[in-house]
Structure 1
Amino acid sequence: MADARRWLAVGLAATLLSGCGSSVGLSANHEMTGTVLDPPFAVADDALVDGSGAPYSLVADTDKKLTLVFFGYIHCPDICGIVMSTMASAMTRLTDGERADVDVTFVTTDPQRDTPELVGDYATNFDPDFIGLTGPIQTIIDVAKPLAIAVEQGDKLPSGGYDVAHGTQIVAINADDEGIAYWSEDVSSAQLAADLQHLLNE
């Protein structure tokens, strides 16, 4: 009877170990929803301005494993809010340890209206840890360009701002200051979270 119990325990342990190995294999074989960049995008080191008015560079001030970057503007009627909500929801799907390895930055493309304080508040309304960034429009364009994000300032509006057109991709920058992946605006929070977990565990 003791032998039977011992072999049952051995079999159970083998099953559990097999399950663990299977889980690792699934992670290794994860199919990215986003696009992995090879070669990666360069990242400009121009200093933007964060919500407190302090300089913030996507090179000098990012030391997490991943930094997500999204360009938009506060008065954007639809896409910006949707993408920001997607990123916020994706972050809730990560473990505390994974969250600690990811920064999320929102860069305005409408600095005429989006002051440092306003853009900081806008970002943190989606998640208290999100970082809002602004700066001179030419600096924003210079930061966006190597990430393949088009930013175009159009006609001046009666409000004092400008009609703004901008790319809607989310770009991931790694700890080596390289743009390694991007997602389209229609990525789901579940897809984004799964991709982030895969990139963090590579």
Structure 2
Amino acid sequence: MADARRRLSVALAPVLATALATGLLAGCGASGTLTAGRQMTGSVLDPPFAVDGTALVDGDEAPFSLVDDTDRDLTLVFFGYIHCPDICGTVMSTMASAMTRLSEDERAAVDVVFVTTDPARDTPEAVNDYATSFDPDFIGATGPIRTIIEVARPLGIAVEQGDKLPSGGYDVTHGTQIVAIDADDDGIAYWSEDVSSAQLAADLQHLLSE
């Protein structure tokens, strides 16, 4: 686990360094952002992340864009892969549990999108099955690896194929944040992999109430 976290940190470092250099993260709230008089566990982004609208592919192999096809008040986006040995399943479970803590109206205002970082192995059907196994309303998306990298980069997520494993497969390094996109197609907040479902749900309720 320690090695995996190190690889993820190394993979993410160049993206964050570039973001800092361009001012993208200037003014970003630290963990525990105070917004509208409430302390949030997640970090509110000011200015927000840009969102790349390049089309990915959903479970029906139809185009799916994080700009054109996300019209709810909030869309949570997580980049991971089906064969991920630990972090991805934990984060997906956290988001699924957080959704159960919301009211019916709140749930209707939030979409959750899982974007694979391993399209060579994760087919559209497989990605859809994986996402909906956590919640029937979750959306799975894939696409060419270069497109996935381009969509992930402005959200502060680094994606790259890692080392080959003794089993014959390979590791995939990727950032592990959950990013929230609002109805104006801005990336407005993010959470680390260790956020709890209760913390995430409370933050979502707060963002929806603003």
With normalisation by structure 1, the TM-score equals 0.84
Asked if 1:174 corresponds to 2:178, the answer is no
Q: In 2, Cα distance between the equivalents of 1:161 and 1:102?
A: 35
- SS at 1:83 equivalent: helix
- Work out the CA distance in 2 between the residues paired with 1:49 and 1:160: 27
Which of residues 49, 59, 64 is equivalent to 1:51?
Answer: 59
Amino acid at match of 1:150: A
Letter in 1 for 2:201: A
Is residue 54 of structure 2 the alignment partner of residue 34 of structure 1?
no
List aligned pairs for 1:110-129, cutoff 5 A: 110-129=118-137
The one-letter amino acid paired with 2:119 is: P
Which of structure 1's runs of 4+ aligned residues deviate more than 3 A?
155-162
Checking the alignment, whether the CA contact within 8 Å between 1:33 and 1:195 is kept in structure 2 is yes
Structure 1 residues 162 and 46, CA gap change in structure 2 (3 angstroms): farther
Query: What is the RMSD of the two structures over their aligned residues, measured on CA atoms?
Result: 1.6
> Quick one: distance in 2 between partners of 1:34 and 1:78?
21
| Counterpart-to-counterpart distance in 2, 1:53 and 1:106 | 15
Q: Which amino acid aligns with 1:95?
A: S
Superposition deviation, residue 173 in structure 1: 0.1
Identity %: 81
Q: Could you tell me how far apart the structure 1 residues matched to 2:167 and 2:180 are?
A: 33
User: 1:153 Cα deviation (Å)?
Assistant: 1.4
> What stretches of structure 1 of length at least 5 have no aligned partner?
1-26
Q: Mark the CA change 1:161 to 1:61 in structure 2 (over 3 Å): closer, same or farther.
A: farther
Match of 2:160 among 146, 152, 164: 152
Of 107, 115, 120, the residue aligned with 1:107 is: 115
Correspondence for 1:75 among 77, 83, 94: 83
* Structure 2 residues not aligned, in runs of 5+: 1-34
Q: Does 1:130 align with 2:158?
A: no
**Hey, what's the Cα distance between the residues in 1 that align with 2:184 and 2:107?**
18
1:165 has 2:179 as partner: no
**Which runs of structure 2 are paired with 1:11-22 in the superposition (5 Å)?**
none
- CA drift of 1:163 comes to 2.3
Q: Work out the CA distance in 2 between the residues paired with 1:160 and 1:146.
A: 32
Q: Deviations over 1:132-175 (max 9, x none)?
A: 00000000000000000010113456877642100000000000
On the 8 A contact 1:38/1:180 being kept in 2, the answer is yes
How many residues end up aligned between the 2 structures? 176
Question: Which residue in 2 is equivalent to 1:65?
Answer: 73
1:59-94 CA distance string (max 9 Å, x none): 000000000000000000000000000000000000
Q: Please tell me whether Structure 1 or Structure 2 has the larger radius of gyration of its CA atoms.
A: 1
